[in-house]
Amino acid sequence: MQLKISRFVVTLLIVSVLMLGGCSTNQITTDSSSASTTTEANTQALTEKTFVSEKTSETGMQDLPRLEGKATVVMTVKGSPITIEVDGVDAPITAGNFVDLVNRGVYDGLVFHRVIRQPEPFVVQGGDPQTKDPKFSGAAGTGSFTDPKTGRARYIPLEIKSKGSQNPIYDKTFKEAGITEPPVLQHKLGAVAMARSQMPSSASSQFYFALADLKFLDGDYAVFGNVTNGMDVVNKIQQGDRIDSAKVTKGLEYLKNGGK
């Protein structure tokens, strides 16, 4: 019985914790009737066509940063480094967005606003630009990156590539697209992926580290890299810890359309 409850809570976290502005763990109920209704409503919302998705499709993706190769990012937390391999081969736009934000210094000083290790290891999430201000007291997890060129929030399309495909699919989850093959970039321990709202193509700057193999997230959220060194540092991150700095140490030449 305990295992079933644990799995159920984790399932709810899929549609709340990883979403921007999602509810906190103490707002999640284990009552089967009310929780089932919440899960069904949120799942349905994930399948609805959204303005962000339409906007991404209409304007195309030519103006978004792209990473045409692999890059290395070193993120330092409490003085200790975390090395991330960013995969622009299988997730060029998602990886390009992340590398561009790192290169702009967007992540320096931001807070990890959501850390979930109980009832079982799940994620460490951060990247909300609002949290750079030490005096910020609003709802962490609701912010996005504002492009200084346009003055508007930059959103990127949901981008996931399935095994055997030459190109990723955009704006749709695997379920929506009817894809049954697993993705190339999977939610293995140490995976780095983008958080988003209920709208599939609403990721901006918030990301998370997977604290375990999270296969049930595959096809719904975009993985763009993995931790190659420093997972011990990730495992020590506490809610409220800040990113000291994040630097691109290799592969910046593969970034296209980026810029401060």
Model confidence at 249: pLDDT above 70: yes
- Residues 81-104 have a mean pLDDT of 98
Q: Is the pLDDT of residue 220 over 90?
A: yes
Strands (E), the chain: 66-67, 70-77, 80-87, 114-116, 123-126, 146-147, 152-153, 159-160, 169-170, 191-194, 207-210, 223-229, 243-250, 255-256
Position 58 scores a pLDDT of 38
Q: What is the pLDDT of residue 61?
A: 85
Where residue 12 sits, what CATH number does that domain have?
Answer: 2.40.100.10
Number of domains in the chain: 1
Domain hosting 251: range is 2-256
Give residue 12's pLDDT. 54
pLDDT greater than 90 at residue 239 = yes
Q: How confident is the model at residue 137 (pLDDT cuts 50, 70, 90)?
A: confident
Q: How far apart are CA 60 and CA 58, in angstroms?
A: 6
- CB-hemisphere CA count at 13 Å for 185? 30
Q: How far is CA 53 from CA 32, 48, 133, 173, in A?
A: 32, 10, 30, 12
User: What pLDDT, in 10s, does the model give residues 42-56?
Assistant: 333 323 333 333 344
